[in-house]
Amino acid sequence: MDARYAAAGKAPATGGHPRAARPGGGAGADPSAAEAACEHAQGRPLFATHAALPWPEEPVLQLWHAQTLLREFRGDGHVACLLSEGVGGLEALILHAATGDVPVDFLKASRAWPEEEWSAASERLRKQGLLDGDLLSPKGPTLRRHIEDRTDHLALPAYAALGDADCERLAELASPFGRAVVEAGLLKVG
């Protein structure tokens, strides 16, 4: 945990965004979303594990921890929705890559699926009518939207505790983190 906190604390300054390391209070440090999410932790193992950790004292790490909790809360619900639709982890990555939103090379490198498994899963998705070549077929976006909508619904207990204004503030506070990580070369996306 110490190594994760150390990396999270240094990322904004490393990426040339030292202001991101001083987010101040507000939505980023507010544990109310995590507390509300804790009432819905069943079937959310990654969220529950992170929620059991103590809150850090430094503001930048509080923001990082809050984002981690919300990401894992939504993520565990997303996995449940994917699996309920018969979409496994590899298929989810391939469908994501097929949108063009994330470079396929980044997903392949960061997840390290063997090429033969990637190819076999892509072929299964083509046979299901979800892919046309390496791009989404007309049926693909419909399934993805359905899964995302269900995922968002399952995530509501956490985000509703913040309310619209604090959700916007949290996004505003967290945005520099992503930019800092990418700009520092800590995460190669292309």
Measure the CA–CA gap between 3 and 136, rounded to whole angstroms. 39
Instruction: Indicate the helix (H) or strand (E) that contains 94.
Output: helix 89-99
Is 91 inside any structural domain? yes
Is 190 inside any structural domain? no
**Domain count along the chain:** 1
pLDDT value of position 143: 96
Cβ–Cβ < 8 Å for 45, 169: no
Is 188 inside any structural domain? no
Q: Which two tokens stand for residue 5?
A: 């906190």
Is 99 inside any structural domain? yes
pLDDT at 126 over 70: yes
pLDDT value of position 106: 87
39, 66, 27, 61: which is closest to 50 by C-alpha?
A: 66
- Count the neighbouring beta carbons within 10 Å of the beta carbon of residue 123: 11
- Count the neighbouring beta carbons within 10 Å of the beta carbon of residue 109: 11
Give the CA distances from residue 38 to residues 33, 78, 123, 128, in Å, rounded to whole numbers and listed in that order.
9, 17, 39, 37
Three-class secondary structure of residue 1 per DSSP: coil
Three-class secondary structure of residue 112 per DSSP: coil
Is 24 inside any structural domain? yes
Measure the CA–CA gap between 23 and 121, rounded to whole angstroms. 42
Cβ–Cβ < 8 Å for 162, 30: yes
Least confident among 84-88, 98-102, 128-132: 98-102
- Count the neighbouring beta carbons within 10 Å of the beta carbon of residue 143: 19
Question: Over the stretch 32-80, which tens digit does the pLDDT of each residue have?
Answer: 887 888 889 999 999 999 999 988 888 878 878 888 898 999 999 999 9
Question: Over the stretch 153-189, which tens digit does the pLDDT of each residue have?
Answer: 999 998 888 888 888 887 787 777 666 666 766 666 6
pLDDT value of position 20: 47
Integer-rounded Cα Rg, in Å, for the chain is 18
The percent of residues above 70 in pLDDT, for the chain, comes to 82
pLDDT value of position 21: 46
The pTM for the full model equals 0.81
Domain that holds residue 59: 2-183
Is 189 inside any structural domain? no
Is 41 inside any structural domain? yes
Check which CATH number belongs to the domain holding 22 and give it.
Answer: 1.10.10
CA angle 72, 85, 87 (to 5 degrees): 70
Is 58 inside any structural domain? yes
